[in-house]
Chain A
Amino acid sequence: GDSVTQMEGPVTLSEEAFLTINCTYTATGYPSLFWYVQYPGEGLQLLLKATKADDKGSNKGFEATYRKETTSFHLEKGSVQVSDSAVYFCALSGGSQGNLIFGKGTKLSVKP
């Protein structure tokens, strides 16, 4: 079945460092791809999405490009801030009920 694999954390960076969180997927068909973020004590929020190959999703300085040839959707940010500390989930729209299929999540901690 469809699945998502993302790099295990935790990831600890200093403020203004470059961030990459790797995400690869396996899927039949052509799913949409998502990054969700969960700040401490809050629900998951959609960070960005891409619906077809070569699409780039972007939001709040984060970017991810839908790469069909490498089945990847890596999350990047050029300069992280302390406020970016959260858990990041990669997901795809592959569920039989219209649900999302998630990776395990990657915890990011940004130190001042």
Chain B
Amino acid sequence: GAVVSQHPSWVICKSGTSVKIECRSLDFQATTMFWYRQFPKQSLMLMATSNEGSKATYEQGVEKDKFLINHASLTLSTLTVTSAHPEDSSFYICSAGGGSLDTQYFGPGTRLTVL
């Protein structure tokens, strides 16, 4: 099946720094990518929808200036957590897919720890 990769798989950073997370579809083109956030023992919560060549659509309560999303090509979306703080520590998961929901493919996730 299709493969989605995320990089890095984990990152530790100091408070106030910015962190970029990459999501790549390795063997297919993804017109839409989704970014989710998962807290321990919680559901995956959608943060934003990233569409190639257009601005991302953010869910209510998600700060677009803090979580910058760029989907510059059909195989790459990036999430940049700007001026990270300890409360941003979480597990970030991306998924990529086309028009049919059962063709959403998930990355392995990125564990972010902000000290």
Residue ranges of A at the interface with B (Cβ–Cβ < 8 Å): 4, 8, 32, 34, 36, 41-46, 49, 89, 93, 95, 97-105
Interface residues on B, range: 20 to 34
A-B pair count, CB < 8 Å, reads 53
- 10 inter-chain pairs at a CB distance below 8 angstroms, sorted by A residue, are A43-B4, A43-B107, A45-B106, A46-B104, A89-B44, A97-B49, A97-B57, A98-B32, A99-B34, A101-B43
Residue ranges of B at the interface with A (Cβ–Cβ < 8 Å): 1, 4, 6, 32, 34, 36, 41-44, 46, 49, 57, 93, 95, 101-102, 104-109
Q: Roughly how many angstroms separate A95 CA and B105 CA in the complex, as a whole number?
A: 16
A93-B101, A102-B43 known; A44 vs B49 contact (CB < 8 Å): no
A102-B43, A102-B44 known; A49 vs B106 contact (CB < 8 Å): no
Closest to B35 in A: A99
User: Does B34 lie within 8 Å of A43, measured CB to CB?
Assistant: no
User: Does A97 lie within 8 Å of B34, measured CB to CB?
Assistant: yes
List 14 additional A-B contacts (Cβ < 8 Å) besides A32-B102, A43-B105, A93-B101. A4-B43, A8-B41, A32-B101, A34-B102, A43-B4, A43-B106, A43-B108, A49-B102, A97-B49, A97-B57, A98-B49, A99-B46, A99-B49, A102-B44
Chain B hits for A100, CB < 8 A? 44, 95, 101, 104
A44 to chain B, nearest CB (A): 4
Closest to A8 in B: B41
Chain A hits for B32, CB < 8 A? 98
